[in-house]
Structure 1
Amino acid sequence: MKNFWKAMLRHPGGMIGLVIVTVAIFIAVFGPTLFPTSPWRMVQRPFLPPFASPAVTLGTDALGRDVFAGLIYGARVSLLVGMVSTLVALIVGVPLGAIAGYFGGRIDDALMRFTEFFQTIPSFALAIVLVAILQPSIYSIVTSIAIVSWPPVARLVRGEVLSLRSREYVQAAIVTGQSNSWIIWREILPNAMSPVIVLASLMVANAILLESSLSFLGLGDPNLMSWGYMVGAGRTVIRQAWWITVFPGVAILISVLGMNLVGEGLNDALNPRLAKDGR
C-alpha cells in the first residue's frame, strides 16, 4: 500500500484526477444537505443570466429553476449511476470471466459466445432499447448500463486467469486438493484484480457519459435532476441562454476527465513493470 501511494504521488495526472473525483463525491454526498434548495423549484424569473443575482449565482433555466441547484443534485445522480452500474457489471463479468478462463474448453467457448452476443450490438443503442423497454427510471438506467458494460470485464478477467492458471502457486493448490472455487477466489482473482480496478475507474466515466446521453434524449428518470437532463433541456435555447447547457456540460467533462486521470494513475501504480522502472 505504501508503494502504491508513492507511485500515485509520482503521477501528477492521477493525483489531479483523484482530487476531482474526491470533490465530486463530496458534492454528491453533502451537497444537498449544504444546499437544500430543490432543483425543481422556481426561484427567479426564467433565463436569468449567471452572476446577475447573488442568490442565483449561475442563473436560471427556462422555468426559473436554479442552475446551481441542478448541478449539485445532478452530481449525486450521475455518480450514483456510474458507480452502481459499474459495481453490477463487475459482479456479473468477473465470475463469468474467471470461470471461462479457469475451466476452458466447452465452458469457455459457451461463455465467450454469450459474451460476444452482447458485444455485437453497439452499447449505446442497446442501452436505449433496454431503457425504452423497461421504462425510464433510475433502476432501468443502472440495469441497462450494467448490461452493456460487463462484457469487457469478462474478457479481461478471462485473459488474466488464462495467464495465471498455469503458475506454480496455482498448480500447488491443485496438488494439495483445494477446490476449484477456492483456487479461483483465493489464489487467482486476487492476483488478477489490478487491471480490473483500472478498467472499473474507466467504466465509471463511461457510465456517466451513457447516463448523460440517455437523459439528454429524454430517457432519464423524470423524477431526478441530472446533468444530462439539464443539457437536453437547454439545447433548444442555447443561443438565448447558453449557461443552461454549458455549466452541466462542463461538470460532465470535468468528472469524466477526473475518472480517466485516476485510471491512468492506477495503471501506473498497479503495473509492476512500470513501478520497477521507477516511474
Structure 2
Amino acid sequence: MKAFWKSMLRHPGGVIGLVILFITIFIAIFGPTIFPTSPWRMVQRPFLPPFTNPAVLLGTDALGRDVFAGIIYGARVSLLVGMVSTLVALIVGVPLGATAGYFGGRVDDALMRFTEFFQTIPSFPLAIVLVAILQPSIYSIVASIGIVSWPPVARLVRAEVLSLRTREYVQAAIVTGQSNSWIIWREILPNALSPVIVLASLMVATAILLESSLSFLGLGDPNMISWGYMVGAGRTVIRQAWWITVFPGVAILLAVLAMNLVGEGLNDALNPRLAKGSR
C-alpha cells in the first residue's frame, strides 16, 4: 500500500486529480450545511451578475435562484450518479466477463454475442430511451447509465481471465479439486483487479457526462438539481446571463478532468511496467 501511494503521489496529474476529487467530495458531503436552504428557492432578483453581492457570490438565474447553491447541490447528484452507476456496471460486467473468460467455448461465445449486441447500440441514445421509458428519476438514470456501461467491463475482465486461467496457481487449484466459483473469485479476479479499477475511474467520468447530458435534455430527476440541468436552463439566455451556463459547465469540466487524471495516476501506480513501456 505504501508503494502504491508513493507511485501515485509521484504522478503530478494524479495528485491534481485527487485534490480536485477530494474537494468535490467534500462539497458534496458538507455543502448542504453551508447552504441549508433549498437550491430551488428564490433568493435575489433574477439575472443578478456574479461577484456583485457577497451573499450570492456567483449570481442568480432566470428565477432568482442562487447559482452557487445549485453547483454545491449538483455535486452530490453528479458524484452519486457517477459512482453508483459505475458500481452497477461492475456488478453486471465482472461476473459475465469472468464466466466467459474462464469457461470459454460455447459459454464464451454466447456471453460475448450478448455483450456485442449491447455494444452495437450507441450508448447515449440507448440511455435516453431507457430513461424515457422508466420515467426520469435518479433511479432510472443510474440504472440506464449502468446498463449502457457494462459491456467494456465484461470484455476487459474476459481478456484478463483468459490470460490468467492458464497460470500455475490456477492449475494447482483445479488439481486440488477447488470449485470453479472459488477459483474465479479467490484466485483469478483478485489478480485482474488493477485494470478494472483504472477503467472504473474513467467510467465515473463518463457517467457524470452522461447524467449531465440527460439532464441538459430535460431527462434528469425533476426533484434534484444537477449541473446538466443548470447548463440546459441557462442556454437560452447565455448572451444575457453567461454565468448561469458557464459556472456549472466548469464544474462538469473539473469533475471529469479529475477522474481522468486519477485514472492515469492509478494506471501508473497499479501497472508501472505498462505505463513506462507506453511512454
Counterpart residue type for residue 53 of structure 2: S
Partner of 1:184: 184
Q: Secondary structure at the match of 2:7?
A: helix
Give the Å deviation of 1:274.
4.7
Aligned to 1:12: 12
Cα distance per residue 1:77-128 (max 9 Å; x no partner) = 0000000000010001000000000000000000000001110010001000
Question: What is the CA–CA distance in structure 1 between the aligned matches of 2:9 and 2:74, rounded to whole Å?
Answer: 30
Structure 1: any 5+ residue segments left out of the alignment? none
In the superposition, the TM-score normalised over structure 2's length comes to 0.98
Distance of aligned partners of 1:276 and 1:135 in 2 relative to their CA distance in 1, 3 Å threshold: closer
Separation in 1, partners of 2:44, 2:35: 17
Matched-pair contact (CA < 8 Å) for 1:7–1:275: no
> What is the CA–CA distance in structure 2 between the aligned matches of 1:276 and 1:150, rounded to whole Å?
29
Q: Distance in 2 between matches of 1:124 and 1:70?
A: 25
Q: Is the 8 A contact 2:267 2:275 kept in 1?
A: no
Instruction: Please give the alpha-carbon distance, in whole angstroms, between the structure 2 residues aligned to 1:260 and 1:91.
Output: 22
Match of 2:162 in 1: 162
Cα displacement (A) at 1:21: 0.6
The match for 1:201 is 201
Q: Matched residues in 1 for 2:209 and 2:53: separation? A: 31
Identity of aligned residues (%): 90
Partner of 2:35: 35
Aligned residue type for 2:84: V
Instruction: Kindly report structure 1 stretches of 4+ aligned residues shifted beyond 4 Å.
Output: 274-277
Give the aligned partner of residue 58 of structure 2. 58
| Number of matched pairs | 278
How many angstroms does 1:276 deviate by?
Answer: 8.1
Task: Determine the structure 1 residue equivalent to 2:126.
Answer: 126
The question of whether the paired residues in 2 share the 8 Å contact of 1:92 and 1:150 is answered with yes
**Does structure 2 retain, via aligned residues, the 8 Å contact 1:14–1:263?**
yes
Q: What is the CA distance between 1:37 and its match in structure 2? A: 2.3
Q: Give unmatched runs, 5+ long, in structure 2.
A: none
Instruction: Give the Cα–Cα distance (whole angstroms) in 2 for the partners of residues 140 and 9 of structure 1.
Output: 37
The normalised TM-score by structure 1 is 0.98
C-alpha distance in structure 1 between counterparts of 2:208 and 2:91, whole Å: 19
Residue 2 of structure 1 deviates from its aligned partner by 1.0
Q: C-alpha distance in 1, partners of 2:175/2:258? A: 45
RMSD: 1.1
Specify the alignment match of 2:231 in structure 1: 231
Question: How far apart are 1:34 and its partner, in Å?
Answer: 2.2
2:51 & 2:208 partners in 1: Cα distance?
28
